[in-house]
């Protein structure tokens, strides 16, 4: 970071990494994505590929369009914003209106900024959506509850109180329950929008550990405003600025030798 690359006049304005699809498996990619809130175009350029079983972090100043982009990926912006362009998942354009959105969301799960457990027991929080999908076998449900809570690293803490209200858990535990609830659906891809921003440092680092474990099985895309967090956990990092992705690269490159001047400004804490 001490290198003063942003001084050079020929520093590029954009630098977007493209994967060699022969050697990298792409779980999700966006093409020509534009998102409008009414007449306001909140996302003007967002062409990204996400590699399977990796953690990709989306960073950028507040209002730069990270959430807008992320929420478009599993159509949570339906009815809120107009999303144009293509989102490719398994040879499908999931942004097309032929897609069964509810089915798609079971493959692409989401965890939100504020923990939002249902006003139900811990057990019901995890099994409820599964039951709606027809999983009725009690033994199977018990298994799923245990594995998803283990994967979210909270089984040992709550295994004796599965039938107590989830609202009685601490904020950090509620957030991990939300992660468990999302992965109980066995999604391919997990989207997280600043999942630790409402939590204390201890809970935050637990969530980070959890995510590092989870990437063995899931493709993770996480929005964070915490630069250390992005550097610690992500394999790839995308830098958003004023509704555009200005730089996308391996995380270690972004955090040591960014090619775009504005990225450098941002990660050195000059704005944001």
Partner 1 sequence: MNAKTADKIATAVFYAIAGSVILILAFLLGYILISGFPKLTWQFLTTPAKAFTAGGGIGIQLFNSFYLLLLAMLISFPIALGAGIYLNEYAKQNWLTTIIRTAIEILSSLPSVVVGLFGFLLFVVHMKMGFSILSGALALTFFNLPLLTRSIEGSLAAIPNLQREAGLALGLSRWETVTHVILPAAVPSILTGVILSAGRVFGEAAALIYTSGQSAPALNFGDWNPFNISSPLNPMRPAETLAVHIWKINSEGIMPDASAVSAGSSAVLVLAVLLFNFLARWLGRRLYHRLTSATN
Positions that interact with ligand ADP (CB under 6 A): 37, 42, 60, 62-68, 80
Closest distance between ligand ADP and the C-beta of residue 76, in Å? 11
Q: What is the DSSP letter of 114?
A: S
Q: What is the DSSP letter of 5?
A: G
Q: Is 72 or 173 the residue whose CB approaches ligand ADP more closely?
A: 72
Closest distance between partner 1 and the C-beta of residue 240, in Å? 21
Residues in the chain, total: 272
Binders of partner 1 among 136-155, rule CB under 8 A?
A: none
Q: What is the DSSP letter of 42?
A: E
Closest distance between Mg ion and the C-beta of residue 110, in Å? 13
168 binds partner 1 (CB under 8 A): yes
Closest distance between ligand ADP and the C-beta of residue 244, in Å? 11
Q: Is 17 or 118 the residue whose CB approaches partner 1 more closely?
A: 118
Distance CA 99, CA 115 (A): 28
Decide: 195 and 114 in contact? Cβ < 8 Å. Answer: no
Decide: 148 and 177 in contact? Cβ < 8 Å. Answer: no
Binders of Mg ion among 65-84, rule CB under 5 A?
A: 67
76 binds partner 1 (CB under 8 A): yes
Closest distance between ligand ADP and the C-beta of residue 260, in Å? 17
Distance CA 98, CA 230 (A): 35
Distance CA 195, CA 182 (A): 13
224 binds Mg ion (CB under 5 A): no
What residue is closest to Mg ion based on CB?
67
Tokens matching residue 116: 């939002």
Closest distance between ligand ADP and the C-beta of residue 129, in Å? 25
- Draw the binding track, 87-126, toward partner 1 (x: CB under 8 A; -: no contact): ---------------xxxxx--xx-x-x-xxxxxx-----
Give the number of other CB atoms < 10 A from CB of residue 103: 10
Q: Which stretch binds partner 1 (CB under 8 A): 21-29, 127-135, 137-145, 255-263?
A: 127-135
Tokens matching residue 263: 């990225």
Q: Is 151 or 229 the residue whose CB approaches Mg ion more closely?
A: 229
Buried residues in 211-225 as b, exposed as e (16+ CB within 10 A): beebbeebbbbbbbb
197 binds partner 1 (CB under 8 A): no
- DSSP string for residues in 65-92: SHHHHHHHHTTTTTTTSEEEEEEEETTE
Residue 190: name the closest of 28, 42, 24 by CA: 28
Q: Which residues bind Mg ion (CB under 5 A)?
A: 67
Q: Which residues bind partner 1 (CB under 8 A)?
A: 74, 76, 102-106, 109-110, 112, 114, 116-121, 128-129, 132-133, 161, 163-165, 167-168, 178, 181-182, 185
């Amino acid at each position: 970071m001490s290198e003063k690359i942003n001084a050079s006049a020929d520093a590029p304005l954009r630098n977007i990494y493209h994967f060699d699809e022969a050697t990298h498996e792409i779980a999700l990619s966006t093409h020509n994505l534009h998102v409008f809130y009414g007449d306001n175009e909140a996302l003007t350029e967002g062409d990204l590929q996400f590699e399977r079983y990796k953690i990709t972090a989306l960073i950028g100043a507040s209002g730069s369009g990270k959430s807008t982009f992320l929420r478009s990926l599993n159509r949570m912006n339906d009815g809120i914003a107009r999303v144009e362009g293509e989102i490719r998942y398994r040879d499908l354009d999931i942004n097309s209106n032929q897609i069964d959105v509810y089915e798609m969301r079971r493959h692409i799960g989401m965890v939100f900024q504020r923990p939002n457990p249902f006003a139900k027991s811990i057990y019901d929080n995890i099994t409820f959506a599964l039951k709606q999908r027809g999983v009725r076998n009690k033994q199977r449900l018990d298994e799923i509850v245990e594995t998803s809570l283990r994967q979210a690293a909270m089984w040992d803490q709550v295994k004796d109180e599965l039938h107590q209200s989830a609202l009685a858990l601490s904020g950090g535990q509620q957030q991990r329950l939300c992660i468990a609830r999302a992965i109980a659906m066995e999604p391919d891809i997990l989207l997280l929008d600043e999942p630790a921003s409402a939590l204390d440092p201890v809970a935050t680092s637990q969530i980070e550990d959890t995510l590092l474990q989870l990437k063995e099985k899931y493709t993770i895309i996480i929005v964070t405003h915490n630069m250390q967090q992005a550097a610690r956990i992500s394999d790839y990092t995308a830098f958003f600025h004023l509704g555009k992705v200005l730089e996308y690269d391996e995380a270690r490159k972004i955090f040591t030798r960014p090619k775009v001047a504005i990225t450098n400004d941002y990660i050195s804490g000059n704005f944001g």
